[in-house]
């Protein structure tokens, strides 16, 4: 059965070199108070137009009387949406190249109350070159404009159309479309046909700023005018009160159409909103073909996504062929279904069920479970020791396994379920595990991360052994092995003696053998320790047996050689055993003060439990 589809198109898909850009639009505003207005620019275009919506739409504001430019504001592109296609009969076939997109640019404008009011305008070029009812349409642009009244009407928001027309018109088929608008202020609205406005040029398709008013109408071709914009019998008309648009197209083609809604308050015309758009009149085929996209994936989860390739249908009935379930049905266009188990299922699709143009197809669908392997990589580690990886997951014991471990790894591949691998060096190593069974395969990829293990070492300058009082410099000579050393911990016999730095300084003030260690740590948290022994030999203790504290600057104190470098205890006794001097850590400071000349006895204990004793004589 052949019928003609009746659908209104706002945009026409072209394959010619000059493709459609903006093919329609409207402009309206909302008063926010205090001189603030939200301005909305709605535009329409072909989905496959060569030129996209403007990244920034230039909106010009002009004085409402002398038309001088007051400001320009650039509104950013908010993204586009596809206008849904709704057909009035499930047996009609939509032409494949009918697709329109719409977008709404919005911005807030500060427009203080003035006597003259304002005119707001957007312009864009060029229209599609295949429009039937305009002269040289490919050279024509579009002007979308509206007016804000002056101070006699301090508060007003403009009317805006309620809905888009349907997406196509059918030859010789009547159309009745509610083209009414709404007004936030509740003002009276009057509808009429209107000639679209020209604007912009091919040389300057995106004028910034737009040209000032007044604006020229588009030139109608012979046989067309504002009241006869499209071949129709009866002629196109719009009810001035209800906004009901009616026509019965009699010629195939693309036609530019304009509709205007005027806003009145107390009999005074405040403003108007124009909609500039396209009609495409086509011959429509009523054939319906049910089709399911050929199965190409046989290894998937039990949840299957079906793709509907039917032609000419708007309603569908699916039966997924599960013999154990009664409700395995759907009316969605592209449904999905989760089967209880693998198998082969007869899937039935009826296009336009219950109509005279219904069509049915039955396709066997093979459903298998793809294996789902996984492995758990070790936590990031330091060094490059071999690591063991284990294949687990959802697959059978007899499945084929393949590890891809990296060309420089040892081994680079493996077919075992458990593999021990040593990577070429520190870094992030991608490992892929592939498992195949029942002619299906699944894979899992993850990373094994290891960091360079530093090799700690350091030098001493000058080298051990050295005498007391030597200034020693320890210098880090560690190999970071690909890492970056960020911390140095220096200890001397277990105690920290320097700041975290590659160089540590030490003064050898006491004899002994010292265990010096350096712990280096990289930015990845990897560390290593180096150590060395450093010897400061003990100096001999030499104790005099006489001193003369007579103030001549020579031999005035009891001076024991090298005693100051030891931990010691000194006690001096008189000839009758009475204690005359006692101190810890003697520093060669006793001058016999308070005791007479004579012979005395001393006992010196050192920290290593060595003991010295003897007599000494004071001679002044």
- The pLDDT value given to residue 213: 97
Among candidates 493, 490, 496, 495, which has minimal Cα distance to 473? 490
| pLDDT score of 18 | 37
Residue 413 tokens, joined: 């591949």
Residues of each domain in the chain carrying CATH 2.60.40.10: 299-369, 372-451, 458-536
Q: What angle do CA 419, 423, 427 make, to 5 degrees?
A: 130
Match domain 546-618 to its CATH number in 3.30.43, 1.10.1740, 1.20.1420, 2.60.40: 2.60.40
Please tell me the distance from the alpha carbon of residue 346 to that of residue 98, in angstroms, as a whole number: 34
Rg (CA), the chain: 48
HSE (side-chain half, CA atoms, 13 Å) at 157? 17
pLDDT given at position 600: 94
* Domain spanning 372-451: CATH superfamily: Immunoglobulins (2.60.40.10)
Q: Give the pLDDT of residue 286.
A: 63
Alpha-carbon distance of 322 to 346, in angstroms, equals 8
Q: Which CATH superfamily is domain 458-536 in?
A: Immunoglobulins (2.60.40.10)
Q: For residue 503, say if its preceding peptide bond is cis, omega within 30 degrees of 0.
A: no
Q: How many residues does the chain have?
A: 620
CA nearest to 160, candidates 140, 185, 139, 136: 185
Please identify every stretch of the chain with a pLDDT value under 70, giving residue numbers as ranges: 1-21, 49-50, 85-98, 167, 285-286, 356
**In Å, how far from its chain's centre is CA 109?**
32
CATH number, domain 299-369: 2.60.40.10
pLDDT per residue as tens digits for the range 15-50: 333 334 677 899 999 999 999 999 999 998 877 766
pTM (2 d.p.):
0.48
């Amino acid at each position: 059965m052949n019928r003609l589809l009746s659908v209104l198109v706002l945009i026409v898909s072209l394959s010619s070199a000059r493709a459609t850009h903006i093919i329609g639009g409207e402009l309206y505003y909302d008063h926010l108070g205090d001189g603030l207005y939200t301005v909305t620019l709605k535009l329409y275009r072909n989905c496959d137009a060569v030129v996209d919506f403007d990244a920034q739409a230039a909106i010009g504001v002009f004085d409402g009387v002398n038309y001088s430019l007051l400001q320009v504001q650039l509104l950013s592109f908010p993204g586009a949406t596809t206008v849904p296609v709704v057909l009035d009969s499930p047996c009609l076939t939509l032409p494949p190249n009918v697709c329109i997109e719409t977008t709404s640019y919005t911005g807030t404008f500060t427009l203080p109350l003035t006597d003259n009011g304002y005119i707001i305008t957007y312009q864009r070029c060029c229209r599609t070159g295949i429009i039937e009812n305009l002269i040289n349409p490919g050279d024509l642009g579009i002007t979308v404009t509206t007016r804000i009244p002056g101070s006699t009407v301090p508060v007003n928001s403009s009317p805006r159309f309620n809905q888009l027309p349907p997406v196509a018109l059918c030859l010789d088929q009547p159309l009745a479309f509610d083209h009414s608008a709404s007004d936030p202020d509740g003002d009276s609205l009057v509808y009429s046909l209107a000639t679209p406005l020209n604007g912009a040029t091919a040389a300057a398709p995106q004028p910034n700023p737009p040209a000032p008013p007044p604006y020229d109408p588009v030139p109608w071709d012979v046989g067309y005018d504002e009241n006869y914009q499209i071949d129709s019998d009866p002629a196109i008309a719009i009810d001035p009160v209800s906004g009901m648009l009616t026509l019965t197209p009699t010629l195939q083609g693309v036609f530019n159409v304009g509709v205007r809604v005027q806003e009145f308050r107390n009999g005074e015309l405040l403003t108007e909103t124009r909609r500039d758009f396209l009609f495409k009149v086509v011959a429509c085929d009523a054939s319906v073909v049910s089709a399911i996209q050929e199965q190409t994936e046989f290894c998937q989860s039990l949840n299957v996504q079906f793709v509907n390739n039917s032609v000419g249908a708007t309603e569908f009935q699916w039966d997924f062929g599960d013999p154990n379930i009664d409700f395995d049905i759907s009316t969605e266009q592209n449904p999905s279904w989760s089967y209880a188990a693998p198998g082969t299922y007869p899937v039935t699709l009826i296009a336009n069920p219950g109509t005279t143009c219904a069509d049915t197809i039955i396709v066997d669908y093979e459903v298998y479970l793809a294996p789902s392997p996984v492995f758990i990589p070790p936590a990031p580690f330091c060094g490059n020791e071999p690591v063991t990886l284990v294949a687990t997951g959802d697959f059978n014991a007899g499945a084929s396994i393949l590890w891809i471990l990296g060309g420089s790894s040892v081994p680079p591949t493996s077919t075992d379920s458990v593999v021990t691998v040593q990577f070429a060096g520190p870094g992030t190593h991608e490992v892929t595990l592939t498992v195949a069974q029942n002619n299906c395969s699944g894979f899992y990829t993850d990373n094994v991360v290891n960091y360079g293990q530093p090799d700690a070492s350091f030098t001493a300058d000058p080298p051990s052994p050295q005498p007391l009082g030597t200034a020693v410099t320890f210098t880090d000579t560690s190999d970071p092995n690909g890492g970056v050393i960020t911390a140095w911990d220096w200890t001397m016999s277990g105690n920290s003696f320097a700041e975290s730095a590659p160089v540590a300084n030490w003064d050898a003030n006491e004899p002994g053998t010292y265990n010096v260690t350096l712990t280096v740590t990289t930015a990845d948290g990897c560390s290593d320790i180096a150590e060395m022994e450093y010897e400061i030999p003990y100096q001999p203790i030499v104790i005099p047996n006489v001193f003369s504290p007579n103030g001549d600057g020579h031999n005035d104190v009891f001076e024991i050689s090298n005693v100051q470098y030891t931990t010691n205890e000194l006690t001096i006794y008189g000839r009758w055993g009475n204690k005359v001097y006692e101190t810890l850590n003697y520093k060669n400071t006793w001058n016999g003060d308070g005791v007479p000349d004579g012979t005395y006895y001393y006992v010196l204990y050192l920290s290593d439990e060595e003991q010295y004793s003897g007599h000494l004589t004071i001679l002044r």
